[in-house]
Amino acid sequence: MPVTRRDFCRTLFAASQTALVGKLITNPLRADEAVAGALNFGLIGDWGRYGRPDQVQVAQQMAIACKTAGATFIVSLGDNFYEDGVASLHDPHWRQSFENVYAAAPLQVPWYVILGNHDYHGKSEVQLEYGKKHPRWIMPARHFAQTHQIDASTTADFFYIDTSPMISEYKNAPIMASVHLQDVPGQLDWLDRSLAASQAQWKLVLGHHPIYSAGSGHGDQQDMIQMVLPILQKHNVQAYFAGHDHDLQHLKAGDMHLFVSGGGSEHRPVNPNPHSQFSEGISGFAMASLRADELQVRFIDNLGNQLHAATVPRVG
């Protein structure tokens, strides 16, 4: 998608206005909302639109929140580049949708990245290659795990999964030819075995597609309900994070908490369902603070307002 001079000027104007918004937000994050001694991180999905329509605003507020919380990393929940992924390492999308938009100092932390369905419209392998030259972009494989130390006796294992190959409706989509090449049974076996082997006190799983969802764009994902949910419940995963629906949501499936942070650049209406604890069709992102005994998740909109806060207790 080419960017015209008019679009470029509009993005600069939006950035300047957003800088003002960052100083005038009606419900700013307080310093005491950062959890001392916690692993603090941000989560954002469905963002890469050349700064439009709300991407610049969301990025500005996420920078404020990450600075306040002392966030040590950010999770990108997929659909990193609209509409059709990236074509090469030199695609202007990298600069215009990622490097220029998330340029603030608090965002210069590691980004743990997974692929979304729109990333499969382009050359998805390029996003893995980008990380070899740009250390902020961490995607060592299409699915991978990362361990974080919370305190001397508490660790958290994060499992990043590639959900697009699991979605049956994509199997006959010509624009997503590379999705057919992925080994879904192998990935599910890896997830099952890795969760079983984990000795961590916290087990969190992150993917692009939600399990249950109140989003009007996509809603519940039956393939995820059938294939992924039983594995997560079997191993007592405390929380699952996703994007895909362009909104902010907190849901529950039994004792497991489900979060959707797909408002990185635009939003759609929501239709709450029986699993919903909170849902709002608004642009924004999530901030998480993980301690030994609990996980706190907050949703923040593109104007800096905190919309919802959830506490996930450690189980086991």
Residue 183 is encoded by which pair of tokens? 């080994």
Q: Which residue out of 134, 148, 218, 235 is catalytically annotated? A: 218
Q: Residue 32: is its pLDDT beyond 80?
A: no
Task: Establish if 29 belongs to a structural domain.
Answer: no
Give pLDDT tens digits for 187-213: 999 999 999 999 999 999 999 999 999
pLDDT at 31: 34
List the domain range (segments joined by +) for residue 103.
39-313
Q: Comparing 34 with 13, which gets the higher pLDDT?
A: 34
Alpha carbon distance 28, 273 (integer Å): 30
CA distance 43 to 111: 9
Confidence (pLDDT) at 94:
98
CA distance 114 to 127: 9
Q: Is residue 14 part of a domain?
A: no
Instruction: Let me know if residue 178 belongs to a domain.
Output: yes
Bridge partner list, 149: 155
pTM (2 d.p.): 0.90
Q: For the CA atoms of 154, 189, 76, 1, what is the dihedral angle to 10 degrees?
A: 170
Does residue 303 have a pLDDT over 90? yes
Mean of the pLDDT values across residues 53-71? 98
Contact 211, 224 (CB under 8 A): yes
**CA pair distance 301, 12, nearest whole angstrom:** 20
Over residues 52-65, mean pLDDT: 98
| Structural domain count, the chain | 1
Tell me, yes or no, whether 182 lies in a domain. yes
pLDDT-above-70 percentage for the chain: 88
Write phi, then psi, for 145 (nearest 5 degrees). Answer: -125, 155
220 located within any domain: yes
For residue 316, what pLDDT is reported?
A: 62
Q: What is the mean pLDDT of residues 128-139?
A: 97
> Encoding tokens for residue 26?
């009606």
Residue 5 lies in a domain: no
pLDDT surpasses 90 at 234: yes
Band of residue 37 on the pLDDT scale cut at 50, 70, 90 = confident
At 28, the pLDDT band (50, 70, 90 cuts) reads very low
More confident residue, 14 or 188: 188
**Structural domain contains residue 155:** yes
Q: What is the pLDDT of residues 266-295, one digit of tens each?
A: 999 999 999 999 999 999 999 999 999 999
pLDDT of residue 315: 82
CATH of the domain at 274: 3.60.21.10
Annotated catalytic residue 218: yes
Which pLDDT belongs to residue 218? Answer: 95
In a domain, 164, yes or no: yes
Rounded CA-CA distance 79/177 in Å is 16
What is the Cα gyration radius of the chain? 18
Predicted confidence (pLDDT) at residue 122 exceeds the cutoff of 60: yes
Please spell the DSSP secondary structure of 199-249, one letter per residue: --SEEEEE-SS-SS--BSSS---HHHHHHTHHHHHHTT--EEEE-SSSSEE
pLDDT class for 2, splitting at 50, 70, 90?
very low
| Whether pLDDT at 30 is above 60 | no
